[in-house]
Chains A and B, each alone.
Chain A
Amino acid sequence: MSDPNLLGQQVKKRISEVLRVPAARVQDETALADLVTESFVLVEMAIELQEDLGVRLSQDDLKGVRTVGDLVALIGTKRRAA
């Protein structure tokens, strides 16, 4: 999948499903801290996204990620590099 919009939609859909939050709440500018209330859930979400999208993320990669848009951009970069 090379279309960034399509990737963004897919990532947001999975975040909404894994975190069980309404899709409308998952926007590019939404802070992940506002969606994820505990660290265990963040681990779950990161692993689910990797399994679904075929990318590998590390703790270091996630250090600079603050928003959903940051995460979509990171996954896009990882996929292009793969």
Chain B
Amino acid sequence: MSEQPVEIASDERRDLAPFDDNMHYLLSYYRTSEISGSLFFGRLAKMMRPGPVQHDMSKHFADEAQHAWYWTDCCQQLGRAPLKLVDSYQDQYNEAVGVPANLMEVLAITQVFERRVINAYERHRRIPHLHPTIEATIARIMDDEKWHIRWIKGALERMEPDYGKDHIDATIQRYWEADKEVYQKTMKEHEERLEFLLGQAAARG
């Protein structure tokens, strides 16, 4: 069942940023990354012991699965099926930052990663004359993403007696530093496409 299409007047439609190959790639990439996130957290949620982390992680993976559906539907509404992509942000990220080995590290890396995702969606939202269907999709996803940051922050705070606040803070800091490097290296294609769209829209006025 598709979401209700956003109604656009014909004169407005003329000014919209086109759903070209770059936009198509980016939306498909978001979809693939949401699927990877969902599968990862789904598997973790399956092996978690009962408790608040199990509860919130279950919602987290359900959200990400839903987001993958939103992007699938968004592409379809704009007239093209999503591309089948192999790599996701998560795959590239884990390869570059290293594999977390305990739940605290998983949550710390996820907190850094989720902030990066929010930042990527915020930047996408700034493309002038963005198609309202894409804008509405990002808006729906952002609410969930903000909750993801909140629940992870709370879970990490509850882990302080076990892991130590200083150790948790140092772990997050280490992942922040790795993130800066990783983003530059792994997200080159994503960045180039986004920059192209932002530049193209600016040139069109």
Contact = CB atoms under 8 A, between A and B. Distances in A.
Interface of A: 39-40, 42-44, 46-48, 50-51, 56-59, 61-63
A59 B40 contact: no
Interface string B35-71: 0000110011001010000000000000000000000
B100 interface: yes
B92 to A, nearest CB: 11
A4 B89 CA distance: 40
Given A43-B106, A47-B106, A51-B49, A62 B99 contact: yes
A40 B95 CA distance: 10
B47 A46 contact: no
Given A39-B99, A47-B101, 12 more contacts: A39-B91, A42-B99, A43-B99, A44-B44, A46-B102, A47-B106, A48-B47, A50-B102, A56-B102, A57-B101, A59-B100, A63-B98
Contact of A61 (B40, B47, B91, B101): B101
A62 B101 contact: yes
Interface of B: 39-40, 43-44, 47, 49, 91, 94-95, 98-103, 105-106
Contacts of B47: 44, 47-48, 51
A21 to B, nearest CB: 17
28 contacts: A39-B91, A39-B94, A39-B99, A42-B99, A43-B40, A43-B100, A43-B101, A44-B43, A44-B44, A44-B47, A46-B99, A47-B44, A47-B47, A47-B103, A47-B106, A48-B47, A50-B102, A56-B102, A57-B102, A58-B101, A59-B99, A59-B100, A59-B101, A59-B105, A61-B101, A62-B99, A62-B101, A63-B98
A59 B109 CA distance: 11
A29 B8 CA distance: 64
Contacts of A50: 102
Q: List 7 A-B pairs, minimum CB-CB distance, nearest first.
A: A39-B94, A46-B101, A57-B101, A39-B99, A59-B101, A62-B101, A42-B99
A43 B183 CA distance: 21
Contacts of A56: 102
A62 B102 CA distance: 11
Contacts of B94: 39-40
- In this complex, the member of A42, A46, A59, A63 whose beta carbon has the largest number of chain B beta carbons within 10 angstroms is A59
Contacts of A59: 98-101, 105
